[in-house]
Homo-oligomer: A and B are copies of this chain.
Amino acid sequence: MNVPISELPRVVIIGGGFGGVSLARKLEKKPFQVVMLDKRNYHTFQPLLYQVSTSGLEPDSIAYPIRKILKRNNNAYFRMAEVKNIYDKKRVVETNIGEITYDYLVIATGSKTNFFGNKSVEENAIWMKTVPQALNLRSLILENFEEATIAKDPERRKSLLNFVIAGAGPTGVELSGALAELRRNVIPKDYQDIDPEEIHIHLIEGLDKVLPPMSDESSANAQKYLEELGVEIHLNTFVDSYEDNIVKTNNEDLSFNTETFIWSAGVTGAAIDGLKNEALIDKANRYNVNTFNQIEGYENIFAIGDIALMTSEEFPKGHPMVAQPAIQQGKHLAKNLLRTINKQKLLPFEYLDKGTMATVGRNKAVVDLDNVKFGGAFAWFVWMFVHLWFLVGFRNRIVTFFNWTYSYINYDRAARLIVRPFKANKEKSPD
């Protein structure tokens, strides 16, 4: 085929997350011009963000320049751009760097933090969906320790050393486990002025178990591991407000005085303006797609990953908003786009559940596979292996592996750098 690139049908992919990247890779050397748009110049390996927040890894271990991902594909272009609107009739997306036309549009914008309308939480809490946010949290945690060493007022000291996390999904569980490891391994060595017993880590969950999507067995194991690490778990508890450093809950007797309230209790689709009304399902803010990932009302506009709501008998509320459905839908859509230009019938997407897992701390993780559930040290090794395997790029894997080995042997977390103090400027990057 010697069609010039400019005459190939153009696939515009909005978002360089798991879905967008796996689609773009599968379109390598295929008769499409691929344009990937993202407001950041890197892909983020979100499952390991909590390791950045807790000084285990630097951003380059979990973020990978999108241009490096695309460079094997001569037909692929990257543009660092934020999409403002879609004009479906003109087949154009409007961005902060101008208009871009498309033949096929793929929305892979993922999800953002959901505050369920709670303004006091949105204004005062901290959360962690992006690399700069994870670095903000890293700074905040370390600044708290530094301030606590000199705080004389006991109430203030308590507030600095109380860490409260809302939401016991994988992020909340992994973060509270990592904080508990910091308390156990780093504080006694480096902070003579803080007694580890003064540090409290509270994990609040509205449902009746931690890791709600996992099996009861794994939830129970994760809860046991967290409690062994000294994490204080509050189930069936909802956050009412967070103001003046006080977290109030639906339980009148349960409130927390804390300068660090981390919100990891929900996500919602990061939708874009401009599509027909029927495209969006209001509640979850996800695009309603059919089994070919076509958005309702369109033949040439697709959604994949967290932002796509594909319901079925097995998944009446859509697929879980995690990496695997996004990766699988990206790969599948590549096939369907090829079938489209070859005038073949599209194939329906089928999700292959490869299992879920979460790590709690040193030697402790839980894994749910189809027929097997297991926990403990072996699960922890599986967790590490899978996460290293899925990290993009040889170099990231090696650096991450080295950092984990170092931390494991030395009971240490080496990237404890307050590069940009958070409290002074309180800059909150958007999701």
Contact = CB atoms under 8 A, between A and B. Distances in A.
Most B C-beta atoms less than 10 A away, residue of A67, A68, A74, A193: A67
Interface stretch (A212-220, A322-330, A396-404): A396-404
Given A58-B60, A79-B149, A395 B416 contact: no
B79 A417 contact: no
A266 B80 CA distance: 35
A97 interface: yes
A417 B146 contact: no
A372 interface: no
Interface stretch (A184-192, A239-247, A375-383): A184-192
A130 to B, nearest CB: 9
Contact of A419 (B80, B131, B393): B131
Interface string A286-330: 000000000000000000000000000000000000000000000
A138 to B, nearest CB: 11
A237 B410 CA distance: 52
A79 B150 contact: yes
Please state the number of chain copies in the assembly: 2
Nearest to A146: B80
A interface, size bucket: 35 or more
B67 A190 contact: yes
A40 interface: yes
A399 B403 contact: yes
B395 A98 contact: no
Interface string A391-431: 00101101100110010001010111111100001010100
Given A417-B42, A418-B42, A420-B132, A191 B67 contact: yes
A146 B97 CA distance: 11
Interface centre among A42, A403, A412, A414 (most CB of B within 10 A): A414
A142 to B, nearest CB: 6
A256 interface: no
A65 interface: yes
Q: Which of A40, A60, A399, A425 has the most CB of B within 10 A?
A: A60
A360 to B, nearest CB: 24
Contacts of A132: 419-420
Interface string A109-141: 000000000000000000000011001000000
Interface in A178-227: 189-193
A395 B406 contact: yes
A71 B414 CA distance: 14
B142 A417 contact: no
A150 B100 CA distance: 12
B59 A189 contact: no
A174 B77 CA distance: 31
A192 B77 CA distance: 8
A364 to B, nearest CB: 23
A208 to B, nearest CB: 39
Given A42-B418, A63-B417, 13 more contacts: A41-B142, A60-B417, A63-B419, A67-B190, A67-B191, A68-B416, A132-B420, A393-B414, A395-B403, A395-B414, A399-B399, A420-B420, A425-B427
- Identify the 5 closest CB pairs spanning chains A and B, nearest first: A58-B58, A67-B190, A60-B415, A80-B146, A65-B416
